[in-house]
Amino acid sequence: MPDSQNLLDVRGLKVHFPIEKGIIFKRVAGWVRAVDGVDFSIKKGEALGLVGESGCGKSTTAMAVAQLQTATAGQVFLEGRDLASLSAKDLRAARKDFQLVFQDPYSSLDPRQKAQDIIAEPLRIFAKNGLITMDEAAIQRESLSLMDRCGLSASFATRYPHEFSGGQRQRIGIARALALGPKLIIADEPVSALDVSIQSQILNLLKDLQKDFDLTFLFIAHDLAVIEYFCTRIAVMYLGRIVEITDAATMARNPLHPYTKALLSAVPLPDPRKERSRRRIILKGDVPSPSIEYKGCPFRERCPQAMEKCALSPPSLMQAEEGHQVSCFLYGGA
Amino acid sequence: MKSNRLTRNPIAMTGLAIIGLYLLVILVSTFWLPFDPVEMDIDHLLEGPSLATGHLFGTDEFGRDILSRIMKGTSISLIISIAATALGAVIGTTMGTWAGYLGGRWDHWLMRVADVMFSFPSLLLAIFVMAILGEKTYNVIIAIGIVYIPQFARISRGAILTIKSSEFIKAARSNGASSTFILRKHLLPNILVPLIVQVSLSLSVAILLESSLSFLGLGVQPPAPSWGNMLSSARKVMVLAPWTAIYPGLAIVFLVLGFNLLGDGLRDILDPRLRNVR
């Protein structure tokens, strides 16, 4: 049962997509296992970073948590409530508590809506459905104050998205996500599309907002530096599964899984002397296709420390030390 | 503010002026015509345009005044063009947007139906429908409307598909917006530009289709005048009396031009991304 301390509990989440064949009469030829059994939980006020290379299922996990993608199996508990079991009406009301910040600041805003209308839209939808009581004047005031809080001048209210820069657009997206006063923000690579100087501005804004609004984050990124700066805990994903999860400091000091080690060794160091002595672990081959079902560990073929038993059965996530879980036979398990 | 942008756009205003001129002709023709458009006059067969006789555009092979016939035909041609485009646009866009938005089986079968309709050349399809329905003026509207359905369905579906996967649609869904709300507030406004271009093209093509049908004897039936059947009957005497073909032809050309200009202008006005570009 989910822990009451946790805001979000994800249990055995699986998202499989069918591969369809045939032109007129479609049949299912196989499955892409985008997310294949993911477990994690986030405590109130925490920021969990989900990291992994592209195609490993990070974004699909985010969409499934946000209930925008139907999960094939598993549950998502928000404050102990299983979101998938809610009726359409209850889910609509529950959406107030979890909101999304998107990756692409260009496609995440409707080009035909003015900035203020974009930010006010969640409020208008909820007011229309009778889920909050707010009149138009209050919505206007609230959206303006949100713009101000996210560093946008009130004079921008009537501008269209194409009149803003990437960073400003992302601020609009963040203000929209905050409009309903959510508890959880699911940020799907919120800074990946921005250049480095803007990245830090947006990250600092998110940090400030986290303090002020008492937010909890599920933060998805492929940039380890961003994750280490922003998150209190880090989960590493590989091919639809979490291979290692621990707090940010432990992850940097003592990574256990061979994949995490390789990932961390790829980060360049700012100190040139240290950088010269940095030993990179180069992985052979590519990420295997998620449409094949693996009997053993999915990382086996690229792993420098693969053993015989890795081919027999997949390792499950287990405790290697206090607050540090890893799914690898090197650290125990049958 | 919107009317301001319209008046500041010279292309749209030119188109609107041309269409306005035709509307004025319709208004005048309901109260007054230089001659009776259907009355024959065997004393003045195939007379050239002249001020003296009062036949400004000349007369046809039955001695009927061509100007009066063009004026009378304006309302018929314009009504057919607007009604047929409206019919095709409403049904086609509804079909296309839902097919594109819902996807899956719906999309599959609706679009196969559209494909079958698309596989016939538009004039052939219109002739086919006319043959089934019979040669009546309002059947011309239905026939041209049916020709337009797959075109609008295709365009709206394609446009919906490109924006359906946008993150702002996901954002709206994560705010608890219903499908109808998303369709109305986010999808339709964003496919307006290709649709308006298509409407303006369709209005003009409808004039040409109606003319073709009437030319083939399937459209507006004589003696009622339409630009198409005027051209059709002029074909036989065109070499002797070119004015019988030139003036109805010019009437078609200018109206088509008017619709196209208006469509071009509206596209620029309605797209916020093109608004402040000079």
Partners of A20 in the β-ladder: A28
Burial A3-18 (b: 16+ CB within 10 A, else e): eeebbbbbbebbbbbe
Q: Which residues of B touch A (CB under 8 A)?
A: 112, 166-168, 170-177, 181, 186, 189-190, 272-273
Beta-carbon contacts of A325 under 8 Å, excluding residues fewer than 6 positions away, are: A244, A245, A246, A317, A318, A319
Chain A interface mutation, best of B170, B179, B180, B183, highest count of A Cβ atoms under 10 Å: B170
User: A83 — contact with chain B (CB < 8 Å)?
Assistant: no
Per-residue pLDDT of chain B (278 residues; tens, 9 = 90+): 455 677 778 888 999 999 999 999 999 988 888 888 888 777 777 777 877 777 788 888 888 888 889 998 898 888 899 999 999 999 999 999 989 988 888 888 888 888 898 888 888 999 989 889 888 888 999 999 999 999 999 999 999 998 888 889 999 999 888 888 999 889 998 888 888 888 988 988 888 888 888 888 888 887 788 888 888 888 888 888 888 889 988 998 999 899 989 888 888 887 766 665 54
A100–B170 C-beta distance less than 8 A: yes
Beta-carbon contacts of B86 under 8 Å, excluding residues fewer than 6 positions away, are: B145
Nearest CB to B171; choose among A91, A108, A112:
A108
CA distances to A26, B171, B176, B196 from B98, rounded to whole Å, are 20, 20, 19, 19
Q: Considering the domain boundaries, does residue B50 fall inside one?
A: no
CA distances to A20, A34, B38, B120, B277 from B113, rounded to whole Å, are 22, 34, 42, 12, 40
Q: What angle do CA A150, A152, A157 make, to 5 degrees?
A: 120
Share of chain A above pLDDT 90, in %: 41
Contact A246, A231 (CB under 8 A): no
Chain B partners within 8 Å of A68 (Cβ): 170, 173-174
Q: Considering the domain boundaries, does residue B41 fall inside one?
A: no
Token readout for A223 is 């940039």
Q: What is the 3-state secondary structure (H, E, C) of chain B?
A: CHHHHHHCCHHHHHHHHHHHHHHHHHHHHHHCCCCCCCCCCHHHCCCCCCCCCCCCCCECCCCCEHHHHHHHHHHHHHHHHHHHHHHHHHHHHHHHHHHHHHCHHHHHHHHHHHHHHHCCCHHHHHHHHHHHHCCCHHHHHHHHHHHHHHHHHHHHHHHHHHHHCCHHHHHHHHCCCCHHHHHHHHHHHHHHHHHHHHHHHHHHHHHHHHHHHHHCCCCCCCCCCCHHHHHHHHCCCCCCCCHHHHHHHHHHHHHHHHHHHHHHHHHHHHCHHHCCCC
pLDDT single digits (tens) A49-100: 999 888 888 889 999 999 998 889 999 999 888 998 889 889 999 999 999 9
Mean pLDDT, chain A, integer: 88
B168–A107 C-beta distance less than 8 A: yes
Measured CA to CA, the distance from residue B220 to residue B28 in angstroms comes to 21
Chain B partners within 8 Å of A107 (Cβ): 166-168
**DSSP H stretches of helix in chain A:** 58-65, 88-94, 115-128, 136-149, 166-178, 196-213, 224-230, 248-253, 258-265, 272-276
Chain A partners within 8 Å of B277 (Cβ): none
B177–A100 C-beta distance less than 8 A: no
Domain encompassing residue B137 = 2-28+58-270
Tell me what pLDDT residue A33 has: 87
Tell me what pLDDT residue B6 has: 74
Tokens 């509804």: give the residue. B94
> Is A119's pLDDT higher than 90?
yes
Measured CA to CA, the distance from residue B10 to residue A81 in angstroms comes to 60
Nearest CB to A102; choose among B112, B171, B176:
B171
Higher pLDDT, A15 or B103: A15
CATH of the domain at B198: 1.10.3720.10
Q: DSSP for A255-295?
A: --SHHHHHHHHTSPPSSHHHHHTPPP-PPPS-PPPTTSPPS
Q: Considering the domain boundaries, does residue B129 fall inside one?
A: yes
Measured CA to CA, the distance from residue A325 to residue A328 in angstroms comes to 9
Tell me what pLDDT residue B273 has: 67
Question: Is the alpha carbon torsion for A111, A112, A115, A118 positive or negative?
Answer: negative
Q: Report the number of distinct structural domains present in chain B.
A: 1
Nearest CB to B190; choose among A68, A111, A173:
A111
Q: What angle do CA A143, A148, A150 make, to 5 degrees?
A: 95
Residue type at B226 in one-letter notation: S
Residue type at B190 in one-letter notation: N
Tell me what pLDDT residue B4 has: 66
pLDDT single digits (tens) A284-311: 777 778 887 777 888 888 888 888 888 8
> Is A334's pLDDT higher than 60?
no
Contact A4, A80 (CB under 8 A): yes
> Is A179's pLDDT higher than 70?
yes
Contact B96, B152 (CB under 8 A): yes
Closest residue on chain A to B186 (Cα) = A110
Tell me what pLDDT residue B1 has: 45
Beta-carbon contacts of A60 under 8 Å, excluding residues fewer than 6 positions away, are: A15, A34, A35, A69
Chain A interface mutation, best of B113, B167, B190, B274, highest count of A Cβ atoms under 10 Å: B167
Q: Are strands A216-221 and A73-78 parallel, antiparallel or unpaired?
A: unpaired
SS3 content of chain A, % helix, strand, coil (to 5): 35, 25, 40
Short-list B78, B80, B240, B166, CA closest to A108: B166
Measured CA to CA, the distance from residue B131 to residue B248 in angstroms comes to 26
Token readout for B128 is 């086919």
Short-list B54, B219, B254, CA closest to B246: B254
Q: Give the distance from residue A122's alpha carbon to the nearest chain B alpha carbon, in angstroms.
A: 5
Q: Considering the domain boundaries, does residue B35 fall inside one?
A: no
Tell me what pLDDT residue A127 has: 92
Contact B45, B63 (CB under 8 A): yes
Contact A156, A164 (CB under 8 A): yes
B123: exposed, middle or buried (Cβ count in 10 Å: 0-12, 13-18, 19+) = middle
Q: What angle do CA B125, B126, B132 make, to 5 degrees?
A: 90
Phi, psi (rounded to 5 degrees) for A222: -110, 0
Collapsed DSSP state (helix, strand, coil) of residue A47: strand
Measured CA to CA, the distance from residue A184 to residue A218 in angstroms comes to 7
Residue type at B50 in one-letter notation: S
Q: Considering the domain boundaries, does residue B36 fall inside one?
A: no
Measured CA to CA, the distance from residue B66 to residue B50 in angstroms comes to 12
Contact A261, A281 (CB under 8 A): yes
Partners of A188 in the β-ladder: A220
Token readout for A234 is 């880090």
User: A129 — contact with chain B (CB < 8 Å)?
Assistant: yes
Chain B partners within 8 Å of A92 (Cβ): 176
pLDDT single digits (tens) A180-206: 999 999 999 999 888 888 999 999 999
